[in-house]
Amino acid sequence: MSVTEVIGKGVFTEDCSEMVLVKDIEFYSLCEHHMLPFYGRVHVAYIPDGKIIGLSKIPRIVDLFARRLQVQERMTQQIAQALQDALKPKGVGVVADAHHLCMMMRGVQKQNSSALTSCLLGAFQTDSKTRNEFLSFVRSLNALR
């Protein structure tokens, strides 16, 4: 499926300018280098600029990119870029935290390691207050687990 098909009619005109954050979106993917699974959680935020997206569409976008041969770094960027293209928001922030079986089962065999990737666009990249607010939300969410 394409991002357009996943979103469908889920974009709405709304006068909203505060950060929207969907947290702890679980995902499962398959490493294209080792053909072993990696899995974890993604936190996705955006700042609307006249358009919002149905909240359930965000996990669907995550699944669209996760359910293919993938690397975490690219997946994180694809999720952010898909929201940027669909909504033209003031900014998008995506953080993915994943466990890779290629690191757990083979090679270094580190059972408790995880990989953290981020993609920050627009205000999340250029405005330190916005970036810090988003990253503090993500950090505080992880502390609650």
Domain boundaries along the sequence of the chain:
3-143
Q: Write down the pLDDT at residue 114.
A: 87
Q: Write down the pLDDT at residue 33.
A: 87
Q: Write down the pLDDT at residue 143.
A: 55
Q: Is residue 43 among the annotated active site residues? A: no
Q: Is residue 33 among the annotated active site residues? A: yes
Q: Write down the pLDDT at residue 140.
A: 79
Q: Is residue 32 among the annotated active site residues? A: yes
Q: Is residue 99 among the annotated active site residues? A: no
Q: Is residue 72 among the annotated active site residues? A: yes
Q: Write down the pLDDT at residue 34.
A: 82
Beta bridge partners, 91, equal 47, 122
| Token reading at 69 | 């041969």
Q: Write down the pLDDT at residue 98.
A: 95
Q: Write down the pLDDT at residue 76.
A: 98
Q: Does the predicted TM-score (pTM) go above 0.75?
A: yes
For β-strands 20-31 and 69-70, DSSP reports them as: parallel
Q: Which of 43, 78, 100, 119 is catalytic?
A: 100
Q: Which of 16, 34, 99, 125 is catalytic?
A: 34
Rounded to 5 degrees, φ, ψ at 61 are -65, -40
Q: Which of 16, 84, 99, 102 is catalytic?
A: 102
Q: What is the mean pLDDT of each run of 10 residues along the chain (145 residues)?
A: 93 94 96 91 97 97 97 97 97 96 76 88 96 90 54
Q: Which of 14, 26, 33, 73 is catalytic?
A: 33
Alpha carbon 65 to chain centroid, angstroms? 10
What is the CATH architecture assignment of 3-143? 2-Layer Sandwich (3.30)
Q: How many CA atoms lie within 13 A of 140 on its CB side?
A: 6
Q: What is the 3-state secondary structure (H, E, C) of 102-140?
A: HHHHCCCCCCCCCEEEEEEEEHHHHCHHHHHHHHHHHHH
Q: Which of 70, 72, 77, 78 is catalytic?
A: 72
